[in-house]
């Protein structure tokens, strides 16, 4: 976490606090961005509502509160509200890091898509793809994987072959069965072959950001379905590709 970002400072202790980042300062920042593209937005009421609601709340609760306030102050139509939010995403993140620092302010957008977009798969999954190029779609995509498993696998197969490394990472990270700070995704636990086929597409990726995700994902399978994971490891061990070997090393640490 960047120590130069005052949004992360607890005003009482002067120490870095991820919880503090998702308070009234973020509500004000979001209000400014939204009102610039959606004139009817009531910035004052939004910020006041956020300031009152986040008191005493944890980080995850604050993210959800801000997402719920989007629902209250943006157009009633989910698709219209989503159109507004997509206009504030800004330039893509060119780095492999920074999604939880420089682009931290987009977490409520992901939560909004996760909570309210489930009946609009094509538009929501496309929005998740755009979001992950700046912040991350790894949490939002999981509810879609549960409701639309085949469709989600298909889009992840496409992303795994994308020239954009953020999308390639999401193809792995979003389908992890034991993703930290997320609910378990256990629908493929007994039959992981469709997910492992996506990892197969990523096993020689040169980007460390992607390789780390694949390694962590494979480590998840060692816990959830060790027999399937060991089969993959045995097969990949025959490869001389240095990226594949890096993944195997880190998956088995």
- In this prediction, residue 101 carries a pLDDT of 81
When pLDDT is cut at 50, 70 and 90, the band that residue 100 belongs to is confident
- In this prediction, residue 8 carries a pLDDT of 56
CA distances from 95 to 107, 129, 140 (A): 17, 16, 21
Q: What is the pTM of this model?
A: 0.92
- In this prediction, residue 113 carries a pLDDT of 98
When pLDDT is cut at 50, 70 and 90, the band that residue 98 belongs to is confident
Query: In the predicted model, what is the mean pLDDT of residues 42-61?
Result: 96
> Mean pLDDT in the chain?
94
Query: In the predicted model, what is the mean pLDDT of residues 12-32?
Result: 83
Q: For 191-219, how does the pLDDT look when each residue is reduced to its tens digit (9 = 90+)? A: 999 999 999 999 999 999 999 999 999 99
Query: In the predicted model, what is the mean pLDDT of residues 129-138?
Result: 97
* Residue showing tokens 């069965």: 177
pLDDT over threshold 70, residue 4: no
pLDDT over threshold 70, residue 74: yes
pLDDT over threshold 90, residue 11: no
When pLDDT is cut at 50, 70 and 90, the band that residue 120 belongs to is very high
Query: In the predicted model, what is the mean pLDDT of residues 218-234?
Result: 98
pLDDT over threshold 50, residue 46: yes
Radius of gyration over every alpha carbon of the chain, rounded to an integer in angstroms: 19
Q: Are 24 and 62 in contact (CB under 8 A)?
A: no
Distance CA(196)–CA(222), nearest Å, equals: 12
Q: For 103-112, how does the pLDDT look when each residue is reduced to its tens digit (9 = 90+)? A: 999 999 999 9
What b/e sequence results for 12-38 when a residue is b if at least 16 CB atoms lie within 10 Å of its CB, and e otherwise?
eeeeebeebbbbbbbbeebbebbbeeb
Q: For 140-154, how does the pLDDT look when each residue is reduced to its tens digit (9 = 90+)? A: 999 999 999 999 999
């Amino acid at each position: 976490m960047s120590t130069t970002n005052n949004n992360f400072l607890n005003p009482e202790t002067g120490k870095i606090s991820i919880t503090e980042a998702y308070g009234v300062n973020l509500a004000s920042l979001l209000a400014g961005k939204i009102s610039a593209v959606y004139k009817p937005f009531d910035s004052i009421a939004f910020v006041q509502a956020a300031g009152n609601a986040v008191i005493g709340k944890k980080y995850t609760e604050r993210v959800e509160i801000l997402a719920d306030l989007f629902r209250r102050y943006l157009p009633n139509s989910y698709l219209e509200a989503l159109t507004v939010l997509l206009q504030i995403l800004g330039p893509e993140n060119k780095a492999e890091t920074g999604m939880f620092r420089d682009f931290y302010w987009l977490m409520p957008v992901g939560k909004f898509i996760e909570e309210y977009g489930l009946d609009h798969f094509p538009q929501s999954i496309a929005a998740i793809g755009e979001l992950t190029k700046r912040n991350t779609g790894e949490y939002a995509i999981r509810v879609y994987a549960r409701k639309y498993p085949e469709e989600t696998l298909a889009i992840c197969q496409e992303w795994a072959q994308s020239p954009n490394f953020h999308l390639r990472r999401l193809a792995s990270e979003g389908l992890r069965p034991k993703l930290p700070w997320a609910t378990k995704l256990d629908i493929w636990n007994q039959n992981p072959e469709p997910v492992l086929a996506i990892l197969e597409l990523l096993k020689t990726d040169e980007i460390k950001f992607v390789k780390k995700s694949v390694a962590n994902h494979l480590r998840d399978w060692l816990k959830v379905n060790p027999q399937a994971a060991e089969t993959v490891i045995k097969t990949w061990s025959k490869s001389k590709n240095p990226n594949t070997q890096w993944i195997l090393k880190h998956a088995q640490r």
